[in-house]
Structure formats: C-alpha cells, structure tokens
Structure 1
C-alpha cells in the first residue's frame, strides 16, 4: 500500500514538473524575441554641383543641395565659411589662413585636430591630395567609428600663400553607424570640392 502511494505521488510529481517545464518553453504566440537593431532609411539627394564664385582667393564646386554662408563667429577671419546641408543636418566648417612662413604650423594644427578623434575612432584613413597643375596639396581624413564627432576632415595649401581646412559635423550627436550613408555622401562631395579646387591670385 505504501509502495503504491509513493508510486502515485512520484507520478503526480513528475506530471507537475513536466507540465511546468512545458509551459515555460511553449511556442505561445505571445512569446517575443529581441529584434535586431534597425536604422531608419535616409533618402539622399542626387549629387549635383555648382561653382563657388564669391570673391574669395579660391574656387571649387559644391553641392546644389547645400548652402554656403560666411562664418560669423567671434573668432572668424576673412574667407571663413560654412557649407550647410539642411536636409541632412550636416555642416562643413571651412577656415582659410594666409601663409607667412608658417605653413608647417598650420599643417601640424590640422593633423592635431584630426588626431583628437583617435580615442573614439576605429580607424583613421588618409588620402593625399597632390595636384601640381593647380598647386593644390594636402590630405583628406576619413575617421571611422560610431562615436567620432567629425568623420571627415581635409586641408589643402598652395605651399606659399594659402591654407584651407575643413571639418564635417552633424547638428546633433548620433550614432555614426546609422548615419554611414550620409557620411559617405558628404565624403563624395568633399572629393568633388577637392578635385575642382583652384586658387585665385
């Protein structure tokens, strides 16, 4: 009698455990799994360019989908300006300096500004600019990483009189992984700017 009672209790306990385990791992419709990370789709405009023709000591082509306005900040100097992309929330800040036997100083400053982003960068890629015909020499920096504040920077000079530096920033802090299409789009525009750049004496 005791054996039969123990057997019934053991079977009952086994049924309860089986029921409990099966309820924990059932294919219930209410079961939710974590969704993969997704980013919103960004519609990018086509690449169309126009000539920068203000009375500055240089000219270049820039995007028709951007606006150029002078830098009005307190420390701004002549020929400083910004290229703003209203639909993308991106600004390229551009500064110009007259060279007076201090070209190396300007180059070192530009390198230092790019290197400031290294702690948050996954990679820093450099492209050399070498256009002997138009006397345009410099570098383009592609700074990769999800938390990098300025993913694209550049500088050019004519080796004797002029130095120009540009850096790209988003209007708001964002994850660069989600904005990679915008970064690539702006980098193409920077290449167009550099490839069409000319000094005007």
Structure 2
C-alpha cells in the first residue's frame, strides 16, 4: 500500500513539475504590407516653398496648439505615420544659428535609444537649398530628421514619426519606403521668392 501511495505521489508531483515548465508562445506575426506605386505631385500652397510628395500621402496644416503658419504634416494614413514640417522665417544670423543648433539638439535627443546617428549634407546651390539630413538607427521615436534653408531668410525642419511603438524590426520595410519619398521631397524642394 505504501508503495502504491508513493508511486501516485511521484506521478502527481511529476505532472505538476512538468506543467510548470516555461511556456514559449509563437512569435507575433506582422501583416503583409502592400506598397503603392511611387507617383508624385507638387505641393504649392500659400507657404514660401514647394516640394513633391507622393500621391498616396496627404498634406495638411498642422493643427496642434503650438503650430505656426506653414507648419504642415505629410500624412501616410496607410502606414500610420507622418512627416512633420515646421517653417520659420529667419530675421537674423543669431536666429539662424539657434535654429540649426535646435535641429541638431532634436536629432541627438534620440541618442539614448539610437544605435547610430548619421549626418548628411544637403546642397542644391542652383535652388539655394542647403541643410543637414539625420538618419537615426534603432528603436527611436523619429528615424529621419532634416532641415533645409536658403541661409538668409527661410528655414524648414522635417521629422518622420510613426504612431506606433518604435520597433525597428517591424517598421523597417515602411521606413525604407518612406525614406525614398523624403529624398524626393528634398531633391524637388524650392523656395519661393
């Protein structure tokens, strides 16, 4: 009788121990993303600049509380993201220096989560468009930031945001796709006189 009891006890104990093993759920799958064909149109609103943006995006005025005239959002509803554009007229060399330093500060605030931050010079002398492009790698809130200026009167800062938790592995295909749109935007950017 004692042997039978200890056998049942061992069997029950073994079942409890084996059920307590660490469970590994199946990894989460991501949706297949259908990318639209790249076609561009020109933004030419009341602001002192123009640029090409994709037909599958929408340019809308920034409606945030602190927004100023000619602050725009290039919205990507299918990707739950936007490129925020903030324009500022330049009135002095000191203001220009402050704006460019602010752009650098905003980009490097992501250092905590970034694995790398690369800077690229933007220079289109024929159009008087100059600036810096910041490519920010890692799980950061903004993967691309840039500013454009004519160095005397106009300044525009841009930043790409997705309304998702920043997980680079899940947004990388969309990020690569939208970066090409940003490149097109910068290449076609013009100041109005």
Distance 2:168 2:100 in 1: 27
2:183 corresponding residue in structure 1: 191
Work out whether 1:86 is the aligned partner of 2:88. Answer: no
Partner SS state of residue 177, structure 1: helix
2:149 corresponding residue in structure 1: 157
Q: Structure 2: which 5+ runs fail to align?
A: 1-22
Work out whether 1:125 is the aligned partner of 2:118. Answer: yes
Match of 1:63 among 54, 57, 66: 54
Distance 2:29 2:155 in 1: 41
RMSD: 1.8
8 Å contact from structure 2 (residues 130, 148) kept in 1: yes
Match of 1:53 among 44, 49, 65: 44
1:1-201 equivalences in 2 (<5 Å): 39-101=30-92, 102-145=95-138, 147-201=139-193
Q: Structure 1 or 2: larger helix share?
A: 2
Paired residues, number: 170
Q: What TM-score do you get using the length of structure 2 for normalisation? A: 0.83
Distance 2:36 2:134 in 1: 23
Please list the CA deviations of residues 38-82 of structure 1 after superposition, one character each: whole Å capped at 9, or x if unmatched: 543221112110000112101010010000110121211111010
| Structure (1 or 2) with the larger CA radius of gyration | 1
* Superposed displacement of residue 190, structure 1: 0.5
Q: What TM-score do you get using the length of structure 1 for normalisation? A: 0.80
Q: 1:58 to 1:127 in 2, by over 3 A?
A: same
8 Å contact from structure 2 (residues 140, 166) kept in 1: no
Please list the CA deviations of residues 79-104 of structure 1 after superposition, one character each: whole Å capped at 9, or x if unmatched: 10101001110111110001011111
Q: 1:62 to 1:70 in 2, by over 3 A?
A: same
